[in-house]
Structure 1
């Protein structure tokens, strides 16, 4: 368990092999994981359903897919901000997911989309954007998630 900023910096320095961009990505993911861990222990743990890039990164392995944010669906909470997905239909339902932490040999339990719903949402994004889709990561996610989970 990382208990100090010096431990975190040393670990990141070791695995990033001198690349500042890689180091920043690992630090960002570390802090996003700390947020997810706090959610997993909070009274709101049943209302946050992990989806999107962070779930894809966890399924694929941190070295294969980096992400900039945490995508979630929030259920049974009143929110009005347009950028927040609330009470979207999750077919067939959210699943319990053991999210493996990047720097520690343990997992935290979160609710998440199942693989099929994650793939369906990625496909819907590609189809909705049609020829205007320049997000190669959507195509990468579809191919990689399908390859890892359906092979």
Structure 2
């Protein structure tokens, strides 16, 4: 067990060495503390990690920040009472890490009409430091071929914890499908960055046949397969849009790790993924 002072010092040193804001590292650390409690709970076989926390783990915390945790729930009742009970049990697990987690609120997600789910507000405390965490839990996702056992590398320890997670092929497939369905109305610039960074990080680390199956399966599941014939046209419109390029510039200004990646490089990565996904 590390003392809270040791944790703060390690985060401070890592912040200086890597040029990452200490608050972002602290948030990542707190998400890890929650994730390890989930791994120690009876809920661990129902919780499938996806989203920003997974992307940051694959790409590297110095190359991807995240403000919330996302997961799909499988084989477990997705109702407010059941989710609340599960997470009250999870936050009560003691790991002797000095972190206290409190479940503050559970409310339905109303901004994602395609899926049922709940948003959890959790307060993480380390001595006098108090940090609010958001966790989005959804159901109904199509994972191709199925969830994987993922070795999650901890930030401050030479140790990994095993969690269920999305395969990288499904991660990429969902992001590409979202780009095609939303077109120039898409404001999720982190998806553009993630595709670029994941292709750079995992060039030989994913299965092309599985990627194609995941993309088609995702489109069929979401009812967007009719758009696929126009996919390349839609993507070209996205990358020819001055508005979308402006959004990318704003994203670069907000996240320094993206500052040297121009819009053309993003276009090349997305079109490369498109071609790999439809062959």
TM-score, with normalisation over the residues of structure 2? 0.50
TM-score, with normalisation over the residues of structure 1? 0.91
Structure 1 or 2: more helix by fraction: 2
Q: Which runs of no fewer than 5 residues in structure 2 stay unpaired? A: 80-107, 110-116, 118-136, 205-279
Structure showing greater Rg: 2
Task: Report the equivalent of 2:40.
Answer: 41
Shift of 1:95: 0.4
Does the Cα contact within 8 Å between 1:126 and 1:133 map onto a contact in 2?
Answer: yes
Task: Report the equivalent of 1:128.
Answer: 181
Structure 1 Cα separation of the partners of residues 200 and 16 of structure 2:
29
Q: Among residues 107, 112, 120, which one is paired with 2:165 in the alignment?
A: 112
Shift of 1:89: 2.4
Alignment of 1:54-73 (within 5 A): 54-73=53-72
Q: Deviations over 1:111-150 (max 9, x none)?
A: 1010100101111222222101233211110111122212
Q: Deviations over 1:74-117 (max 9, x none)?
A: 11111243443114221100000000001100000001010100
Does the Cα contact within 8 Å between 1:76 and 1:87 map onto a contact in 2?
Answer: no
Alignment of 1:19-98 (within 5 A): 22-80=21-79, 81-82=108-109, 83=117, 84-98=137-151
Count of residue correspondences = 149
Matched, 1:5 2:58: no
- Calculate the aligned-residue CA RMSD, in Å: 1.9
Structure 1 Cα separation of the partners of residues 53 and 179 of structure 2:
18
Does the Cα contact within 8 Å between 1:49 and 1:113 map onto a contact in 2?
Answer: yes
Higher normalized contact order (CA 8 Å, seq sep 6+, divided by chain length): 1
Q: Deviations over 1:4-31 (max 9, x none)?
A: 211111111112129xx71110110000
